[in-house]
Amino acid sequence: MDGAQAPAPHLASRTELEEFPKSVACKQLLRVIANLTPACIEKFHKFGRRDALQYGISTDRSQAETMGKAKNELEEFIANIPDSKLTGFPSVETTVYKTRNFRLDMQTVTTKDPRCYNLHVQINRGTLITSLKRFAGKSLSIALVPVKEEAWTPAEVRAELEKNRII
């Protein structure tokens, strides 16, 4: 993952999270690569491809600001999920919580041991964030919350979603 921290062992096979950054970062970076300054190239090497847009490595100011808006909105969404929605998950696929831009979906209960609730923060089709509109339905964060172990607190679920977000 080009210098990025390796995913937690229990999340090593999450292909959605690996595909999304490549599609966003590569396409946007290819558009501006010819205009990168030496300082930007140094940042790119320091932070890696995955975090390049997050750290504003672009000469297109509005593009970097837009990705910053998406990141800020996602952070705010995760922080503002009500505690009551982060406990007692259903065993069926359902939307647990949603806003105009994002939703927290209970995808399924995993079949391998340890069984886990498979929670995804996804982009809504009607999102107002223009940089994310074409990625509607894609997951931006995943949390695998164990079913049979001691129940996680809302703060632990929130921390896992925050840790695993890709923008």
State mean pLDDT over 110-134: 91
**Mean pLDDT over the full length of the chain:** 74
Identify the pLDDT of residue 121: 96
Between 57 and 104, whose confidence is greater? 104
Instruction: Identify any residues that bridge with 103 across adjacent strands, giving them in sequence order.
Output: 98, 122
pLDDT for 76 equals 96
Mean pLDDT computed over 111-124: 92
Integer CA distances (angstroms), 147 to 84, 114, 141, in order = 17, 8, 19
128-162: per-residue pLDDT in tens?
A: 998 898 889 999 999 999 998 788 999 999 999 99
47: closest CA among 79, 2, 80, 8?
2
pLDDT of residue 38: 54
Q: Using 50, 70 and 90 to split pLDDT, how confident is the model at 78?
A: very high
In this structure, are residues 60 and 13 in contact, taking their beta carbons and an 8 Å threshold? no
Determine contact, residues 118/84, Cβ cutoff 8 Å.
Answer: no
Q: DSSP for 43-60?
A: HHHHH-STTTTTTT--S-
Helix (H) or strand (E) holding 128: none
Q: How far is CA 122 from CA 1, 30, 34, 38, 112, in A?
A: 22, 25, 32, 35, 23
- Angle at the Cα of 10 (from 158 to 96), degrees rounded to 5? 35
pLDDT score at 13:
40
Is residue 15 predicted with pLDDT exceeding 90? no
* pLDDT 10s digits, 21-67: 444 444 444 444 444 455 555 555 555 544 444 444 443 444 444 46
